Structure 1
Amino acid sequence: MYKNVKIAVVEDDENLRFLVVHRLESENYQVVQTGNGDEAEKLILEQKPDIVLLDWMLPGKQGSEICDNLRKDGFSNLIIMMTAKSQDVDKIDAYSFGVSDYITKPFSMDVLVAMI
């Protein structure tokens, strides 16, 4: 039985996206996914997920631009940035364009699930 929580996974690394989606589905979350920044914004606005797991560096639009646009469009649900960018300045930038939380790659799936 699915939990009443929909999660969008936006990650261009197919292997990582597969692992994240598989783990979330095994936890009974509803999951939608894309690996392309240009498709992500449309997917999120149409599907209205409760949580977005968003990679920063994507083909097409970058995660920072997607997040900023979503916030400007009134999307107020959780956006968790998943990125290899680990400098404090990167984290500060991410919070300034509207992310709710931040997890640095590589990360533990258990930690990701606990965040959700």
Structure 2
Amino acid sequence: MKLEQLNRWELSPSEAIEVQRKLAGKIRGGKLPEVRTVLGVDVSYRREDKTFMAAAVMLQFPEMALKQSMCVQGATAIYDRAGYWSDMRRAWELWARRLTGILTGQAPGKVVRIK
């Protein structure tokens, strides 16, 4: 899976807000097809050594049986909002190379896609 880069990731908080406003117009919702796979992700930071660790767990739905899991880590900028976005980009790129699929959404019962 190749992720399309829609913007640069090293942003100030005000720049990130502006990017979110622009991207909001590209979001469209719709009825979900039958959901068979769900993915949960999280990321944490260690200020002491400026590293991040991100994890993803993919489950078969509705059984909630584990299909795939992964943990990635790497160097990061000093933890701040701007660094968060570049770290999430790196984590998604690593996951995209290894996971069989990604479903992302913003509201229950809706499919969220970028046009």
TM-score interval, normalised by the smaller of the two chains: under 0.3
Normalized per residue, the structure richer in helix is: 1
Normalized per residue, the structure richer in strand is: 2
Q: TM-score by structure 1 length?
A: 0.27
- Greater CA radius of gyration, 1 or 2? 2
